[in-house]
Structure formats: structure tokens, C-alpha cells
Structure 1
Amino acid sequence: MNNIDIIRDLPKLDLHCHLSGSIRPETILEIARLEGIPHHTDDLEEFKGYVQAPSECKSLKEYLQRFELTLSVMQKKEYLQRIAYELIEDVSKQNIYYLEIRFAPFFHLDGGLTFDGAVEAVLAGMEEGRRDFGVISNLILILMRHHSPQKSLEAVKQGKKFLNKGVVAIDLAGNEHDFPPQLHREAFELAREYGFHRTVHAGETGIPENIITAVKELHAERIGHGVHAYRNQEVYDFVKEKGIPLELCLTSNIQTKAIESYSAHPIKRYLEDGIVVTANTDNMTVSNTDLIQEYEKLVTEIGFSLEDLRRVILNGLEASFASEEDKDHLRRLFNEKFEIHFSK
């Protein structure tokens, strides 16, 4: 068995996967037709160009434009449930055994859904997917930087009823330059009091200092991306010494211009220096990728060994927000499968 076959066979997990960026293009097109949503073309291959970002985006803005149509088809309960279910089915084919899905409930209320209805729909699709495909999944509720601090508090309060019933954490995402993390400190303090896990998008678009702020003031346990930690020695040392896991997303980091090329990506340097790195997809549809492709790029473009991949996978398992019961199950499962390829 060659390395590519081994990569496909390895047990995997994904801690940073946006629901709105990981919808099957054919599903987007079908719902757009049903709902009379303008969708440019009925030809699927041509349509993909409107929901998948090019490998060479001109800017982050161009990348984010791909979400406009996807969000428009995620405004009904049956569609959210279907999309979540299909995502679980898709990742099961990549040997992903654990998935953390994140979505912002307030983005899905334009069609009359309530906050509770949107969350319930996604959880129903996830539970159906676990039953049919055996993939364990948990949901992370995203708070948006450009929303008011009061709206973030509202999301935490409304989300409490779903805590440990499929919802495990909150996240902060959005415009990092104009809305610093501390604006939403109160919501994260309340979430911590309730028992939510916390992750924060930080250090993705060139402000590495946001990583320290996210950890110290928002009590972040993990950092979404954090790719720019190396640009500030104090931040780099902080991440390393505190053992803060980074949710790195190779392809999207290139597309959004966070990093100029695969060869320039710091993930291998981080791993070799003892920083807790994980490898994730971010947006499978928008980035036109999956976790198998991400692992293959780690090997072919960045020089990862199979042992490096194993370390990254185990980092992800220990950094996950899975229950201890699920972690124990996954440890046994992963170790059994690793023995096949790492027995020597």
C-alpha cells in the first residue's frame, strides 16, 4: 500500500468545518431551483464556479462571496437538516470518525425559522447521520464579530438549552480587523459559566495579538486558524507554552491569502517545535477540498511523514470537544487502525 492509499485509509477527524461552506453544490442548486432563488445557471459544472472559490483568489472578499448563495438555501428546517445529514454522509466516505460542525444560527432566520428551530434542524441531521453512518459529531455555535455584544449574549443564553445535547461550544468569527475579540468578552464569560467549550477565530488575517486576547479575555481553549502566530514572538511563545491547539486549515489559508503558498505555511514548523496543531477543512465546498486532499497536501506539498500525520490526528482527538466517553471510544478505534500502518 503506497502513502496515498494509507492516507485515505487513516482514521480522521475534523475540528473546524463550517456547515455553510460545506454543502454539496448539487444540493444548493436543487434548493435554489425549488425556492426560486437566482442561481446564475442550471448547469451543475458551471454552477460550481459560483459556489467554489478559485484556487487563486484575489482576496478574502472574493472567497467570502461564495457564501452568499449557500446561505440563501439554508433558511428552512428541512433544508438545514438535509444539509447536515449529507455532510455527515460525505465525511464518512473520508474515514472521518469525528466531526465538529460550526454554524451561526442568526444567519438562518430569514425564512421565518427561530433560533431554536435552526439549531434543532442541524442537530436532527447530525443525529440521523450518526445513526446511518456511525460518525460522531458535535455542534459549535458561531457568534459573529460584527454583531452587537448583546446579540452574542442572546445566542449564548438561547443556546444553553442545547448544551451537551449535541451543542458543545461557541466560536467567534468574522471581520478580525475591525472587531477585536474583547468586544464579546461578556458572552464568552457567560458561556464559560454555563459550561460551553470555547474556540475563537484569531490570528488568521494578520493580527497575531488577537490570539492572546482570545485566550486571556475570552477563555478560548482552542484557536481557529492562528496561522500568523509566528509573526509575533510573544504570541508564538504563548501558544507553545500554554499548549493552545491551533485549528489549521491549509487550503483555505492559501485561498484567503492568509499564507502565500503551501511551502510558506508554518504548520510543519509548528508541529516540529511542539505546538499543538490540527489539520482541518474549514469549508469543503467553498475550498473544493476534503480531508483526504488536505492530508495529501501535507505530505506532497509540505513534507509531512505518515508519523507526522498520526501526531496531528492524535492532537485533534485530544483537543476535541468530544465527551470523555466518545474520546475513549475514538482512542481505541484510532489505535486499532493505526496498528495496521504503524506496526513496525
Structure 2
Amino acid sequence: MPPETCPNLIEYLKRFDLPLSVMQTKEALERIAFEVYEDAALENVTYMEVRFGPLLHREQGLNVEEIIGSVVAGMKRAEQAHGIKGNIILSLLRHMPTDEINDVIDVGSQYVGKGVAAFDLAGGEELGFCEKFIPFAKYAKEKGLNVTIHAGEQGEGQNVYDAITMLGAERVGHGIHIATHQAAFDLVHDKQVALETCPSSNVQTKAVESMDVHPIEDFRQRGIPVTINTDNRTVPTPP
């Protein structure tokens, strides 16, 4: 569990290490995927998309096919047991080498319409990250995947603009710093690109100072499509 106040996003992301340590076998991945969707169903969620990073689950020798297949299998089992509907979003981490990204896309494309919905980039955010990933987002679209990109979480509204114009993002994870970047705000508004906001996480990582100043309500009133999300269910927020 992260501290109630993290100094930054990087410190917050370190808390993924513990859950990742027990997500390194097919059995564990299927069970955890099942339980994530089971828990959501018991909270009256009827549809949920979950991001996960396939390349983070290879410490005990699993390949990408086994990893994605196990997660989809667990989700499908929860669908049968609880009536919930789900999809998986394949997250690639921006700080990791890029030489295996197309392998993830190739495997993921086999599950389009069968449990995998989209390609995503996540992790620590630096200004100008999008240019490096243009060929991968293009390839993902060619293989039938939708594109949603984490951008504008840590003060860089320009990244949201780039995610849409360079990577073809149809939705943006967080996106809150379009509030200080007029061109990005106008583009999101005009194209009606949905922002997948995570207000409590934004406060916890100091992306915004408090819930009182979080821009989500202003966005909503000004015609930006927004959703409210957990950010993640494996790194709980302190009570």
C-alpha cells in the first residue's frame, strides 16, 4: 500500500512490485484475473476493462501467449460465473525496451473481439514520449486494436495533444493537464476524446493538490467526456 501522500508518480508506481511478484505463473494470472472481475461483479459492475502489462509477468519463464491467454481465461471464467462482461487492455511500459512491443500486439490481436480491446502506453511520463511510439501505435491499429494512452497525468498537457495527433489515441488515461494547455483542451473537446480520470490517484500522486481543485467537474461542464476510474485495484488507497 502506498503512503497516503506520495511525493510523485514514480514513488507510487513502486508499489506495483509486491503484487507483480505473485503474478508470474499461469495459474496465478488466471486466478487473479478471475478474482478481479469477480470482485467487480459483486460490487454491481456490469462491464469493466482492465489494463495490465504482459511483459511484467515473465520472471518465471512465461511467454507472452501464455500470459495473455491466462488473463483472458480468468476473465472469461468470471464472465460465466458472475454475468459481468470484460475486456483487457494491453499496457506497454514507456521505460522498457521496445523490441518486444510488436510481439505483444501480435498475440493480443488474436484475442480482438474475444477479450482484448486495446493497446496502451503507461508508466512514468516524460514530455515528448509519443514520437518514439508512433510505429507501434500504427501497427496496433493495423492489427485491429483500439488505442488508449496514459498522458497528461503529470503536468504535461502537450503529451495529450501528441497522443491524439501522433498515436491516434481514441481515449486518454488521466489527461487532466489539458486544463493548462489550450490546444490540447480544444482538441480533446472537438474530437470528443474521452478522459479516463482517476481523481483519488491524482491526489495521492500529487498530480493535483486536492479533490477540491481536481478539474474533472470543470471538464464535464465544458463538454469533455470523462469517466471515473480506480486507476488500479492492486495498489489500494489508504483509508
Same fold by TM-score greater than 0.5: yes
Answer yes or no: is the 8 Å Cα contact 2:128–2:159 preserved in 1.
no
In structure 1, distance between residues paired with 2:219 and 2:206: 19
Gaps of 5+ in 2: none
1:98 is matched with which residue?
47
In structure 1, distance between residues paired with 2:234 and 2:139: 33
The structure 2 residue matched to 1:200, chosen from 140, 145, 149, is 149
1:2-31 Cα offsets, whole Å, 9 max, x none, are xxxxxxxxxxxxxxxxxxxxxxxxxxxxxx
The answer to whether residue 192 in structure 2 is matched with residue 274 in structure 1 is no
Answer yes or no: is the 8 Å Cα contact 2:174–2:197 preserved in 1.
yes
In structure 1, distance between residues paired with 2:229 and 2:10: 21
The structure 2 residue matched to 1:76, chosen from 8, 15, 25, is 25
Within-5 A mapping of 1:13-52:
52=1
Within-5 A mapping of 1:124-273:
124-177=73-126, 180-273=129-222
In structure 2, distance between residues paired with 1:147 and 1:62: 17
The residue type equivalent to 1:245 in the other structure is A
In structure 1, distance between residues paired with 2:129 and 2:15: 24
Helix, strand or coil at the partner of 1:66: helix
1:36-90 Cα offsets, whole Å, 9 max, x none, are xxxxxxxxxxxxxxxx122222332331121111111100000001101111111
In structure 1, distance between residues paired with 2:205 and 2:237: 13
Answer yes or no: is the 8 Å Cα contact 2:120–2:147 preserved in 1.
yes
Gaps of 5+ in 1: 1-51, 294-344
Helix, strand or coil at the partner of 1:150: coil
Runs (4+) of structure 1 moved beyond 6 Å?
A: none
1:235-257 Cα offsets, whole Å, 9 max, x none, are 11111111110000011111111
Count of residue pairs brought into register by the alignment? 239
* 1:183 CA displacement: 0.7
Answer yes or no: is the 8 Å Cα contact 2:178–2:185 preserved in 1.
yes
* 1:198 CA displacement: 0.5
Over the aligned positions, Cα root-mean-square deviation in angstroms equals 1.5
Answer yes or no: is the 8 Å Cα contact 1:249–1:280 preserved in 2.
yes
